[in-house]
Structure 1
């Protein structure tokens, strides 16, 4: 059974950290999903490049529901995702890694639930701890083991994209308590939590946000910073998988919808 999934964000498209890689696909109620499957540290792992292997899918058109549904269907219990982010916080510098623990949702046109009435009914999801504390602890331990500096927490502001944010928006987000800004973590984290899967994301700061950065923002800048740090983030993911226990967990992620009888496919 495949119990771990990696969702690779911008700059993390290559599943070569895995051994014996093969390609598989799955038909979901929301569309078809193609993913890679391989092995590492005695564990079977699925790999999905969030934007497609050639970064051809913009953030507002990613099929988040299909991806999470497919991950749940193949048996995954833990997801490590990566996200490239801009920083609103001067303590979180380009090249830094952050284990976000909260989000502010400023998306506009995305469906963020599997439960929209009809046959599936309606649920009201608690997101007090949408990011699995147990999985975040494992990743933090892996970072310490490797000597990688990582911020233990941060607030991720998710915007619709695909444009970058305006300086006025960044100023507003900062006033509201945001530390980082990106375009992909919502609804992904919400859907994973709804599907009762442990989820954590490793955010890598690629630039300061608009109005804070001294230069105009470019996607090339994001890719350049990711490329310079991609080996570090891969090593962090690999060490986290090595340390990950699939037999026991101290979190309650698998019971997120217990009030509603649990998540059903």
Structure 2
């Protein structure tokens, strides 16, 4: 039976309902992960959980040690990863509270440690990243969203930005021209590192605000936090369905 790991983003620093059997402090060649890897039982099966931003939420997107996080999950026994991400909506369909299971990603980040294939290498390694998300895992997420009667899009392009600031109106306009449907700050290099470790990886994105210029109002943290509160119960129900399928 597949051992799933859940990476919790903003709004999901704890997985309520997880019966914890161990908190693993794993040393990696790349430093310490954001938090201990929690092993436990959720929805009747073994699962691993890692808070991407630490617990409490304290590590900004550009300072997350993505390499340590993914390495630690694999060391703990993860065989597939579901990443939960809070995002902004660019496409008109991506309103607040909408879910997206992206099928593609564009990387606008810079300066992040984005690969395991660096340093003193015996040979150069290139991986195929044509399709960044695992299709079987994407399908399971979509089936679970449909069963929970959530509003969702089964496809979308995730634009990964550097953060921690939000984007300008001009930047979002450019991303829209590039074909991005949603915007977030943690999609990369997490996805490519999972691929380098041969871990199936998919993303469950919750839209928590309209992107810059997509609303007449300023984006406030209060609005984002309210959307997170309202959306996290649905996130947990979807995760439970994926795990129990």
TM-score, with normalisation over the residues of structure 2? 0.95
**1:13-162 matched pairs, under 5 angstroms:** 13-33=13-33, 34-119=36-121, 121-162=123-164
Q: CA deviation at 1:145?
A: 2.0
Q: Distance in 2 between matches of 1:164 and 1:121?
A: 39
CA distance in 1, matches of 2:124, 2:45: 35
Structure 1: how far apart are the matches of 2:20 and 2:88? 35
For these two proteins, the number of residue pairs brought into alignment is: 243
Q: Give unmatched runs, 5+ long, in structure 2.
A: none
The alpha-carbon distance between structure 1 residues 219 and 140, as it changes in their structure 2 partners (threshold 3 A), is: same
Alpha-carbon shift at residue 128 of structure 1 (Å): 1.4
Question: Does the Cα contact within 8 Å between 1:21 and 1:38 map onto a contact in 2?
Answer: yes
Kindly provide the CA deviation profile for residues 69-113 of structure 1, in whole angstroms up to 9, marking residues without a partner as x: 111112211111100000110111110000001011100111211
CA distance in structure 1 between the aligned counterparts of 2:119 and 2:20, rounded to whole angstroms: 41
Residues 2 and 23 of structure 1: is their aligned pair in 2 closer, same or farther, counting only changes over 3 Å?
farther
Mapped contact 1:104–1:157 kept (Cα < 8 A): yes
CA contact (8 A) 1:96 1:149 kept: yes
The CA deviation string for residues 163-219 of structure 1, in whole angstroms up to 9 with x for no partner, is 000000000000110100010010000100111001111000111111112111223
Q: Which structure 1 residue ranges, 4+ long, deviate > 6 Å from structure 2?
A: none
- The one-character-per-residue Cα deviations of 1:24-49 (angstroms, maximum 9, x if unpaired) are 21000011231211112442211111
CA RMSD across the alignment: 1.5
SS of corresponding position for 1:156: strand
Q: Is the CA contact 2:106–2:157 (under 8 Å) kept in the aligned structure 1?
A: yes
Q: Distance in 2 between matches of 1:197 and 1:203?
A: 19
For 1:119 and 1:197, the matched residues in 2 are separated by 22
CA apart distance, 1:155: 0.3
- Structure 1 residue aligned with 2:9: 9
Query: 1:97 and 1:50 mapped to 2: Cα distance?
Result: 19
Structure 1 unaligned residues grouped into runs of 5+: 244-265
